[in-house]
Structure 1
Amino acid sequence: MKEEYSISNLIKIGLKESEAKIYINLLKKKNFTASEISKLTGISRPKTYEYLHRLVEKGLCTEILGSVKKYAPTNPETAFSGLRQKLKFEFENNNILLSSLSEALIPLYHSQKEMIDPLDYIQVIREKNSIIKKFESLEEIATMEVLALVKGPLAMDITKPHNLVEFNSLDQGVCYRTIYDIKDLRDVNLMNSIELFKNAGEDVKIAEELPIPFKMYLFDERIVMFILEDKIPSGSKLTALIVEHLDLVMGLKAIFNIYWQSSITLEEFKKGKNQ
């Protein structure tokens, strides 16, 4: 009965009935293949793929690449927070509806999960707000270091207060080392942001000779997050690729250290700029 109530409310906030059924069932386990969801819901496989793609775009689930592509539910608290901003609800009571939905579905999300396939170590996120939320959640669990290669375009809006999680992590003793692409430093807002985080304790360098090929973040020698730019006719979109693989991360850290050794300090950059 509770599932029917939740499905009914999900429909009220803009989901199709089949999308709502799929999302509710996704919450019951760590991840599913499209075939498993199709059998569970009675929805045809082609339609299941279509609805799963829509749920990914709405930030309600993510793709996991492994031996077989699987789909994992997004925490309802995160998912509905994004929906509040994206859907611009007309009535205030929809916010109350989302809160009640979140409370009703959290127990399903935190219920007993099955063992994870050892090959399920790749996660793909394509929705901007979900990328930011995932990045901040990885920062929150980092206890030793966060290493970053940064180039534009950025997912966060740096014209407003952003990445407040980093300040807390720095206070907790987490080491941040960030290398910025020199081509992006003409942006005054970015320079202000760099100065802000440097003053808070972040170690900063500027890649002057080696161009940064993509955005990359390494967390505690364990997890890497790539943020890639998808160039499309109407502009560009961002895709995040999160991989938890020790050997890969250690290899990427070695590459990061090569960049670090060949990069200049922020002070050296400013001095050269003023000459």
Structure 2
Amino acid sequence: MNQPFDEKTLSKMSMFGLTEYEARVYLTLIVKGGLEASKVSKYADIPRPHTYSVLKSLQMRGLVTVIPEAVNRYRAVPLDEGMDLLMEEQEKQLSYLRDAREELLSEIKPKEAIPTNHQSIVLLYYGRQNVYKLVDEMFARCEHTCDIMTTANGLVRFYKYFSDKASEFRNKDIKVRFIAPVTPQVEDFALKLSQLVELRHIDRLPYIRVVLLDEKEVLFAEFFDDDFKSTGRETGIWINQAELTKMMKTMFENTWQNTVPYEKKGEPSPSSD
């Protein structure tokens, strides 16, 4: 086969909204110049019956022009112009999607995921972004206390994604207590976080996050990838069962009493006594 392009280039073209056949034909004409349909089919390595429909599609999108001759030849617009045209198409499509999104949000009123009555329920969440969204929703309902346990890397993630909320809690006199292993690798973030919440050090925790709010609701989140990324494999279990939240409150209090306040851990310099 005489393809004037490799599969990597072909794949990149598909990112601009071209089908495989459209990408093959357009790239062939870019590299080979003006060609008759039969030669386009040969060099692009696509079935002859599809060649004319693909050329017609590219013409309609402004990517190919016809050179009128006894046997018509086809010529591609310059690659930079073609890329600009395809990007404009994608931008318009994105604009249409945004408009459709707003219309759907205004037209369709979803049932509340978490009931406002006192019914006890359990909800499962998959994926770190979904768990973070849940945490954000929980914080919006918080009125008095917020207790959190997580790993050292979890401390960094919390500061990166929820430090603004922690500042808001402080301004509203909402008490936030945070337990995490403060390792040397996260010391800088721990220092910043300690200015917003009550932070205590614990030697070790499993790869799990516990968020307990107002003794009303609790989130258990297990993360398989304990990194700093905003996405990852994470499973969250949300529960508002009264007895369980009280039990978790007792567990947190016991852990809190057996941990070390961060400011007493050896700062401002990590020298040992």
TM-score, normalisation: structure 1? 0.55
Match of 1:65 in 2: none
CA contact (8 A) 1:139 1:166 kept: no
CA contact (8 A) 2:163 2:193 kept: no
Change (3 A) 1:113 1:180: closer
CA contact (8 A) 1:136 1:163 kept: no
Corresponding residue to 2:266 among 265, 270, 275: 270
CA contact (8 A) 2:155 2:190 kept: no
Could you list the runs of 5+ residues in structure 2 that have no partner in the other structure?
1-88, 226-231
Q: Are 2:166 and 1:166 equivalent residues in the alignment? A: yes
CA-to-aligned-CA distance 1:36-64 (integer Å, 9 cap, x gap):
xxxxxxxxxxxxxxxxxxxxxxxxxxxxx
Aligned mates of 1:179, 1:159 — CA distance in 2: 13
SS in 2 for 1:148: strand
Match of 2:98 in 1: 99
Could you list the runs of 5+ residues in structure 1 that have no partner in the other structure?
1-89
Change (3 A) 1:111 1:166: same
Match of 2:184 in 1: 186
CA-to-aligned-CA distance 1:107-133 (integer Å, 9 cap, x gap):
455356799698761111112222112
RMSD (Å), alpha carbons: 3.4
SS in 1 for 2:195: helix
CA-to-aligned-CA distance 1:216-272 (integer Å, 9 cap, x gap):
0101111101110237xxxx7211111111110110010001111000111222269
Change (3 A) 1:244 1:267: same
SS in 2 for 1:173: coil
Figure out how many residues of one structure are paired with residues of the other and give that number.
Answer: 177
Q: Which has the larger radius of gyration?
A: 2
Match of 2:205 in 1: 212
Aligned mates of 1:113, 1:136 — CA distance in 2: 16
Identity %: 13
Mean Cα displacement is larger for which, 258-267 or 119-128?
119-128
Q: What pairs with 1:52-201 in structure 2 (closer than 5 Å)?
A: 91-107=90-106, 109-110=108-109, 121-154=121-154, 157=157, 162-182=162-182, 185-187=183-185, 190-200=186-196
Q: Are 2:248 and 1:252 equivalent residues in the alignment? A: yes
Aligned mates of 2:224, 2:263 — CA distance in 1: 33
